[in-house]
Structure 1
Amino acid sequence: MALSDILQKIRDEEARTGRAPGSTRLVAVSKVQPLERVIDVLDQGHRLFGENKVQEAAGKWPDLRDRYDGIELHLVGPLQTNKARQAMELFDAIETIDRPKLARTIARLKEELGHCPKLFVQVNTGEEEQKAGVLPADADAFIAECRDLGLEIDGLMCIPPVDEEPSLHFALLAKIAARNGIDDLSMGMSGDFEKAVAQGATYVRVGSAIFGERVYD
């Protein structure tokens, strides 16, 4: 599916559900994609991208930022505390804040560096053991803990279970965000981004539908 087709589907779903045009932004997830595919999307004018790993992003995006203006980069994969400094210097948003130790590390680095990316708390809406994120029952307390550390929580993020109706999880995330005064919702991927738009997503994360199947070494 072409980039333009996905953007049109987002706009159509916004219109269908009465949302403001442009209220949902597309994060093009470029992890393990060949550089020429990323450049092709950049050449089409897209500037918002997501990466799963700090190391991979560090090897790709500094050079691309020298060549293209206005790039915005989101970390959408798990973050180890020993990579937090590098992540804060490289990314404009970190979508995977999921534990107190990481929050404390970012709060300390915020003071040291004098800046901080946008921060999203990842919520494990499906309560899956193998998946990162705070449990829904713990989300309010964790958000409050982050705020007590001096961190501004800009959004929430989730990855629903593959075998469950995603709209239920998107609605749950939106409910948690609303009661905590949080505006941004990162939810929805290649197979369900239209449902995410309908539930209020402000960011949808689409990879293979834009770039084609990922190329793993």
Structure 2
Amino acid sequence: MPDLIHNLEAVQQRIALAAHVAGRDARSIALLAVSKTFPAEDVRAAHAAGQRAFGENYVQEALTKIEVLADLRSTLEWHFIGPLQSNKTRPVAEQFDWVHSVDRLKIAQRLSEQRPETLPPLNVCLQVNISGEASKSGVGVDEAVQVAKDIAALPRLRLRGLMAIPEPAGSIDDQRVPHRRLRELFERLVGEGLELDTLSMGMSSDLEAAVLEGATIVRVGTAIFGARDYSH
């Protein structure tokens, strides 16, 4: 799949250039390839090209891919990044390495209770509704500090940091505003004593703005795999 390999290289170049502008080491920014709606064969091809971390939004679709790609499990890192309902937490707790979309304490508690003792603690990020959109998931900025502290105290989880999906904006300066707000909240949490290392922010259209504001994981799908077909 030459297009996919070319796209991966192009995204890595975008990350490297943005990191250079920000005075950052590009190696401090991880690329999460968002493979939702794309077949397991595309994940296998991206893996063959060196990509290791993949993001999924839909539990059943993801579980099917994890099973199909079981032969690669030791070198694949699965991240759940979509809305998570209470009745779907068990398979996510059992099969994933990361969950970026913890948007309320109840979900974190269930993931903690259901994470097998035989596995390492589940890496999680608290999703913050950084733009205050009524249609978006995530805790409000004002409640984030307490919720983060409550999650950090749970067993079988490791709170790594924050995630956000900001409202789309046109210019890079406008895109930087919500990412900066998330970084400032992250710094506040660290100042409160939480041991965090992850800012999951930035997608195909705004990864440069996210890197300039301190993203450590950018979640990129379309720029790697192409446009999505939701008709099925």
Tell me the TM-score normalized by structure 1. Answer: 0.93
Instruction: State the Cα distance separating 1:162 from its structure 2 match.
Output: 1.8
Tell me what 1:40 maps to: 45
Q: Which moved more, 1:162-171 or 1:71-80?
A: 162-171
- Structure 1 position 162 matched with structure 2 position 168: yes
Q: Distance in 2 between matches of 1:44 and 1:193?
A: 21
SS in 2 for 1:60: helix
8 Å CA contact 2:94, 2:116 repeated in 1: no
8 Å CA contact 1:65, 1:71 repeated in 2: no
1:141 to 143, 146, 150: 146
Residues 171-203 of structure 1 show CA distances to partners (whole Å, capped at 9, x for unaligned) of 111111112122200000000001111111000
Aligned identity (percent) is 39
Instruction: State the Cα distance separating 1:112 from its structure 2 match.
Output: 6.0
- How many residues matched? 217
SS in 1 for 2:47: helix
Instruction: State the Cα distance separating 1:153 from its structure 2 match.
Output: 1.1
Instruction: State the Cα distance separating 1:84 from its structure 2 match.
Output: 1.1
- Structure 1 position 15 matched with structure 2 position 15: no
Give the CA RMSD over aligned residues.
1.8
Residues 4-32 of structure 1 show CA distances to partners (whole Å, capped at 9, x for unaligned) of 01101111211221112311011000000
For residue 54 of structure 1, what is the amino acid of its counterpart? V
- Structure 1 position 210 matched with structure 2 position 224: yes
8 Å CA contact 1:88, 1:116 repeated in 2: no
Residues 155-184 of structure 1 show CA distances to partners (whole Å, capped at 9, x for unaligned) of 100000124722111111111111212220
Instruction: State the Cα distance separating 1:67 from its structure 2 match.
Output: 3.9
- The verdict on how the C-alpha distance between 1:112 and 1:42 changes in structure 2, with shifts beyond 3 A counting, is closer
Q: Distance in 2 between matches of 1:67 and 1:110?
A: 21
Tell me what 1:199 maps to: 213
**Ranges in structure 1 where 5+ consecutive residues have no aligned partner:** none
Tell me the TM-score normalized by structure 2. Answer: 0.87
Residues 122-170 of structure 1 show CA distances to partners (whole Å, capped at 9, x for unaligned) of 0000111111100011100111121233443101000001247221111
8 Å CA contact 2:15, 2:26 repeated in 1: no
Query: Superposition pairs for residues 102-181 of structure 1, below 5 Å?
Result: 102-110=107-115, 115-150=120-155, 151-163=157-169, 165-181=174-190
Q: Distance in 2 between matches of 1:110 and 1:116?
A: 7
Q: Which moved more, 1:12-21 or 1:194-203?
A: 12-21
**Ranges in structure 2 where 5+ consecutive residues have no aligned partner:** 1-5, 191-195
